Amino acid sequence: MDAPLRRTWAEVDLGAVRHNFRLVRNRLHTDCLCMAVVKADAYGHGAVPVARALLSEGADWLGVSNITEAVELREHGITAPILILSYTPPAEARRLADYHLTQAVLDEPYAVKLEREAAAADVTVSAHIKLDTGMSRVGFFCGQDSPVDAIARVCAFEHLSVNGIFTHFAVADEPDGEAYTRQQFALFMNTVDALRERGITFALRHCCNSAATLRFPEMQLDMVRAGIVLYGVSPIVQADLRPTMALRTVISQQKTVPAGTGVGYGLTAHTDRPTVLATLPIGYADGLIRLAAETHRVSVGGTTAPLVGRVCMDQCVIDVTDLPSVNTDTVVTVFGDDTVSVLDYAAACRTIPYESFCLVGKRVPRVYSDSLR
């Protein structure tokens, strides 16, 4: 590894990403497409290299959160269909068309604004209708008042080319979430069927996130949206996934202090014996969650060591008293090896793997490998 990276870095295994995609692909029915979700910089893994790896494996679509993420992919030569899953200002209609992007239509007022801007720019914007079947974020609400009339009006707009419809499941990854997920699916299909009765059909109907893709294959329809499963985390269903990211750092200094020595801001920790403390050049600005200091143990040479005191912006301290073989420059893994997984880390931080990946800071270099090559 190059010298500038010997501070803190994230190792990303594109071979593991490709392996995980293959696992998903093998669980789809024959005609079902797969959208690879690479929003949030591919969950912190790096959108461009991850997207290229997934497209090489046969991903049909890419999913992103916003137009900035989509344009980044286009400007790196990626030509695959891209769906923007969340809000884009209607004034960006020309860019949506120029970059050949598909926009989620969130409701009729949004569609009216997008249509007006597209007409003014003399362009046609590709669109998918988003239904809110019980997540209560964005989408045409499938409540007591049917959204069918509003969707029909939107589908008739001259400058919107509506070729898909989708929803998002709220609890497909919860052990007791089956009944609610089936309720959401029924609302979705009822709306789609009502639109079909009016002669309105869609080339792509998609509901399944990672959990539903694995757990409810009958809901796969025309396309699924694979997200966290691609990054090595199995939502509820056991799967032979491989970890895709390891967050590593090194010991920058090591010292022995007497019992009763305070450690870190606020002196929230004190040693209870003569203690060997090791400083790590990683902190919350790098994505090390401050809550990790309470219970998380980092991986050092096949065993673990606890954090001591508060996590600082750029550094933290661990207790290596019982690890006599360590020294300056010894590699330490925060998460992602056989000893400490991202699930272990997320549990210690009282969060989820999604956040653990996404919080790894931009100043942390991503170092890529491919275990399948």
CATH, residue 356: 2.40.37.10
Asked if residue 253 and residue 192 are part of one domain, the reply reads no
Asked whether residue 342 is assigned to any structural domain, the reply reads yes
Asked if residue 276 and residue 225 are part of one domain, the reply reads no
Asked whether residue 58 is assigned to any structural domain, the reply reads yes
According to the model, what pLDDT value does residue 145 have?
Answer: 84
Asked whether residue 14 is assigned to any structural domain, the reply reads no
Asked if residue 326 and residue 284 are part of one domain, the reply reads yes
Asked if residue 279 and residue 226 are part of one domain, the reply reads no
Catalytic residues: 39, 265
Asked if residue 252 and residue 205 are part of one domain, the reply reads no
Please give the model's pTM, rounded to 2 decimal places: 0.95
User: What is the C-alpha end-to-end distance of the chain, expressed in Å?
Assistant: 19
Instruction: Tally the domains of the chain.
Output: 2
Asked if residue 223 and residue 253 are part of one domain, the reply reads no
Asked if residue 85 and residue 42 are part of one domain, the reply reads yes
Asked if residue 41 and residue 158 are part of one domain, the reply reads yes
Mean pLDDT, residues 220-235: 96
Domain ranges, residue 337: 245-369
Residue 131, C-beta contacts closer than 8 angstroms, at least 6 positions apart: 139, 140, 142, 147, 165, 166, 167, 187, 188, 191
Asked if residue 261 and residue 200 are part of one domain, the reply reads no
Residue 3 scores a pLDDT above 60: no
Asked if residue 251 and residue 189 are part of one domain, the reply reads no
Residue 174 scores a pLDDT above 60: yes
* Range list of H helices, the chain: 14-26, 39-43, 47-56, 67-75, 93-98, 108-121, 148-155, 178-197, 210-215, 292-295, 342-348, 353-358
Asked whether residue 18 is assigned to any structural domain, the reply reads no
122: left (phi over 0), alpha (psi -120 to 50) or beta: left
DSSP letter for each residue of 227-277: -GGGGT--SSS-------EEEEEE--EEEEE-TT-EESGGG-EE-SSSEEE
List pLDDT tens digits, range 97-150.
999 999 999 999 999 999 999 999 999 999 999 999 999 999 999 987 899 999
Asked if residue 249 and residue 357 are part of one domain, the reply reads yes
Asked whether residue 7 is assigned to any structural domain, the reply reads no
Q: Confirm if 320 and 222 have CB atoms less than 8 A apart.
A: no
